[in-house]
């Protein structure tokens, strides 16, 4: 089972910030939080990941709470092309690429 | 740099047959993971290969197997196909370290009739 919980769906107006929450209350100290997204019929796309500090890249920002039990992915200016299923993943093991994907959040960016 | 490539993109088989799917990772990547995606079960991890060795394995029956070659290219094989094996099979490559992101290919859509 996935170690994360996310809302099944969210809407966001085009041009506004999209804030996608994720709960991972059982996260271990050496586990990273990853975010991927999957646009219809394509392979998942890496967005960002972090351990305990907030992270930012050209796509998004990741805010991790101090206790690391939850995080928020922020898309600062959502566009229609950001409509996708967003997955929050906590690494199951300390080593290896065996990601456990939950059902994710279906984000709809509305014009 | 070229992305992850998977061949074939589409495949139709009948029950009882076997199938082999291929994945070419990004140049320099040593880890290749395989996932199955179905509408009912979502994305599920099959196995991961790193430097020609299976490093992690998901909860799938022995009909699902894989291997990795010295150039990091990987194949997965499904024997005795069942209708429930119809799915999108995704391959992902990474450098293989503890916090490396995975890069996914476009997938192979397998239909079992």
What does the pLDDT read at residue A102? 87
A51 contact residues in B (CB cutoff 8 A): 99
The C-alpha atoms of residue B89 and residue A49 are separated, in whole angstroms, by 24
Best mutation site among B21, B38, B43, B57 for testing chain A: the one with the most A CBs within 10 Å? B43
CA–CA distance, A53 with A41 (Å, rounded to integer) = 32
More confident residue, B102 or A63: A63
Q: What is the pLDDT of residue A2?
A: 65
pLDDT at residue A76 above 60?
yes
The reported pLDDT for the residue numbered B28 is: 92
Average pLDDT, chain A: 91
Distance CA B17, CA A5 (A): 38
Confidence of residue A92 (pLDDT cuts 50, 70, 90): low
Highest mean pLDDT among A83-92, B42-51, B72-81: B72-81
Contact in structure between A3 and A27 (CB atoms under 8 Å): yes
Which tops the pLDDT comparison, B20 or A30? Answer: B20
Q: What is the DSSP string of B83-110?
A: GGG-EEEEEEEE--STTPPPEE---EEE
> What are the C-alpha distances in Å from A92 to residues A1, A29, B19?
10, 12, 29
- List, as ranges, residues 57-86 from A with C-beta within 8 Å of B: none
- Chain B interface, Cβ < 8 Å to A: 4, 31, 33, 35, 42-45, 48, 50, 55-56, 58, 90, 92, 94, 96, 98-107
Q: How far is CA B30 from CA A32, A48, B38, B57, B98, in A?
A: 20, 21, 27, 16, 13
pLDDT, tens only, B52-99: 999 989 999 999 999 999 999 999 999 999 999 999 999 999 988 766
Please tell me which of the candidates A42, A46, A98 has its beta carbon nearest to residue B33. A98
B33 vs A97: CB contact, 8 Å cut-off?
yes
Q: Of the ranges A11-15, A37-41, B82-86, B108-112, which one carries the lowest mean pLDDT score?
A: A37-41
pLDDT band at A28 (very low <50, low <70, confident <90, very high): confident
What is the Cα–Cα distance from A4 to A91, expressed in whole angstroms?
10
Tokens (6 digits) for B33:
């993971």
Determine the pLDDT at residue A95: 62
Going by pLDDT thresholds of 50, 70 and 90, the confidence category of residue A93 is low
- Searching chain B, which residue's CA lies closest to the CA of residue A48? B101
pLDDT tens digits for range B7-27: 999 999 999 999 999 999 999
């Amino acid at each position: 089972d996935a170690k994360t919980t996310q809302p099944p769906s969210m809407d966001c107006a085009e041009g506004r910030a999209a804030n996608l929450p994720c709960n991972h209350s059982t996260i271990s100290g050496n586990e990273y939080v990853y975010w991927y997204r999957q646009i219809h019929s394509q392979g998942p796309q890496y967005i960002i990941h972090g351990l305990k500090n907030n992270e930012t890249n050209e796509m998004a920002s990741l805010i991790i709470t101090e206790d690391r039990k939850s995080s928020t992915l922020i898309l600062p200016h959502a566009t229609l092309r950001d409509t996708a299923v967003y997955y929050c993943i906590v690494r199951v093991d300390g080593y290896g690429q065996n990601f456990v994907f939950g059902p994710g959040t279906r984000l709809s960016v509305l014009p | 740099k070229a992305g992850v490539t998977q061949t074939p993109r589409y495949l139709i088989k009948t029950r009882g047959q076997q199938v082999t799917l291929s994945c070419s990772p990004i140049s320099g990547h040593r880890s290749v993971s395989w996932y199955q995606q179905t509408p009912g079960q979502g994305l599920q991890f099959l196995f991961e290969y790193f430097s020609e060795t299976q490093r992690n394995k998901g909860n799938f029956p022995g009909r699902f197997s894989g291997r990795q070659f010295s150039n990091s290219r990987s194949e997965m094989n499904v024997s005795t196909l069942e209708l429930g094996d119809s799915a999108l099979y995704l391959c992902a490559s990474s450098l293989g370290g503890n916090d490396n992101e995975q890069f996914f290919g476009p997938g192979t859509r397998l239909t079992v009739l």
